[in-house]
Amino acid sequence: MQYNNLFGRLFITASLMFCLGSVQSQEAKVETKDIQEMNPEYSPYVGRDFPQRVFFGGTHHHSSYSFDSGMFGNALSPTESFRFARGEEVTTSNGIKEKLVRPLDFLVVSDHIAYLGFTDLIKSSDSRLMATRGGRETVEGYKAGGEKAWLFVVSMMKDFDIGKQRFEDAKLNRTIWGRVVDIASEYNAPGAFTAFNGYEWTSAPTGNNLHRVIIFRDSQDRVKQIVPFSAFDSVEPEHLWEPLMEVTQAKGDSEAHPFLSTEDEFADFETWDFGNAGSPTTPKENNMLQFEYARSALGQGLKHEQKLGVNPFMFGMVGGTDTHASLSTTREEENYFGKLPNLLPGPKRTEEAIVMKADKTPSVSSWQTSAAGLTCVWAQENTRESLFDAMARKEVYATTGTRISVRVFAGWDFKPDERIVVLFANLEHLASLSFIRPHFESLPRSPKPSRLEMARDV
């Protein structure tokens, strides 16, 4: 299968705290004459061909088409996911009307590609499932009801561990994928709201949960031509390109850890370090942490580059929610609707457990889930092509829900008398300077011992 030019893959980490040695912030000084010298046109907007706006959206989102989400009670399809993200009012799976305080600019509905859309087929005893032995066993297991049905659903999720599916129908899989692509196309409105085609590749060999969000740049005609790559094709994450890393979502923060960043008082924000999907109650060992957090991974990448000449960890950072309720992020406590069907607004939702111990007491409770996460993208316009290209350039960052505009530039040894004009109208000038680069590009090596300095947009 040819994937070149068809999809990019996402991530997750987001912070603008760089572990690159001595870093200084340089305030920008802007004067009218500087702007006139750099842009002789009367209008400062003439000839701009660089990203001027930041767009806020979601890149990790599950609807009822995800097997776990649908089986756990989510009744909202990708249609409701896009409608809600665009600012429309929807009714939740438990009958409550909800609406965002402010619409998103874009959304990737990244449902698990393994068993995509099979929940409705199982519940309705679809004839296409019943025509196969594995399908019949699945339907019968679900219809057993009660705890037997629950255990059967859990056993199906373990199929992600071994990379082997219980029933295989390529035609059915393609039909469902085509429906998903059509829904995204229906709600895509270039210039106003971007509905990306995408999905989540999910693997959990021996219980070590991994995921990769696949995002497509192209329209439905091209995207429908491919058969999505799932854990049933390979459980190895190296088979997917990874330009971005997710650093914040419902299950905590993965940007920094207090053991690794001892002098950072914010490094303990939303820390979930108690285990993984295979052994959720087994504590992490400290020697594992350096390989699991984005900030330390950046440092590991620099070490690899010094030793091997190549840095494998030059990733951008993004944020998401990992919602399994079809409801996008919210930053307001009074409008928080939870990330799982059983965590939707209700009198006892704070008592719900996310992970249980062997004695049936909560290891992680619902109130410990993070409220929100956003991917922020500097792009020229709100279209699939422009946003995707910006992600590929890594011109992105993450927040935990707030919509702040941040842009950083870096360079070696700014001279005291150099006037660094960091202004949107002059970004093309900055890009032409050898000593300064936008944060998504690689700095050239300094020819001598130097001090890395930072500048920011104003």
> Does an H or E element contain 388, and which?
helix 384-392
Backbone phi, then psi, for 319, in 5-degree steps? -130, 155
For residue 458, tell me if it sits in a domain. no
281-313 pLDDT tens trace: 677 888 888 888 999 999 999 899 999 998 888
Q: Is residue 106 part of a domain?
A: yes
> Rounded CA gap, 316 and 297, in Å?
12
Residue located via tokens 């900055």: 430
Q: Is 132 within the bounds of a domain? A: yes
| Local structure of residue 203 (DSSP, 8 states) | E
* List of residues 6+ apart from 294 with CB closer than 8 A: 13, 14, 15, 245, 247, 254, 255, 256, 315, 317
Checking if the pLDDT of 411 tops 60, the result is yes
Structural domain total, the chain: 1
* Residue 442 domain flag: no
**Domain-embedded: residue 277:** yes
More confident residue, 18 or 101: 101
The 10s digit of each residue's pLDDT in 113-164 is 999 999 999 999 999 989 888 889 889 988 888 888 888 888 888 887 778 8
Integer CA distances (angstroms), 9 to 6, 322, 389, in order:
10, 16, 12
Q: What is the pLDDT of residue 333?
A: 72
CB 199 within 8 A of CB 59: no
In this structure, is residue 440 part of a structural domain? Answer: no
pLDDT tens digits along 88-109 = 999 999 999 999 999 999 999 9
Q: CA 313, CA 243: separation in Å to the nearest integer? A: 9
26 in helix, strand or coil?
Answer: strand
DSSP 55-76: EEEESSB--TTSHHHHHTT---
Neighbours of 362 (CB within 10 A): 15
Task: With a cut of 60, say whether residue 12 has pLDDT above it.
Answer: no
* 69 found inside a domain: yes
**Of 207 and 18, more confident:** 207
pLDDT of residue 295: 92
CA distance 267 to 61: 25
Give the tens place of pLDDT for each residue, 28-60: 444 555 555 555 677 767 777 778 899 999 999
The contacts found for 178-182 with CB under 8 angstroms, 24 or more apart, are 178/224, 179/117, 180/65, 180/78, 180/109, 180/111, 180/116, 180/117, 181/220, 181/223, 181/224, 182/220
Residue 368, C-beta contacts closer than 8 angstroms, at least 6 positions apart: 272, 354
- pLDDT per position as a tens digit, 177-196: 999 999 999 999 999 999 99
Predicted TM-score (pTM) of the model is: 0.85
SS3 content of the chain, % helix, strand, coil (to 5): 30, 20, 50
Is residue 26, in this structure, part of any structural domain at all?
no
**Residue 34 and residue 111: Cα distance in Å, rounded?**
49
The boundaries of the domain holding residue 268 are 7-21+51-406
Angle between helices 78-85 and 170-187 (to 10 degrees): 20
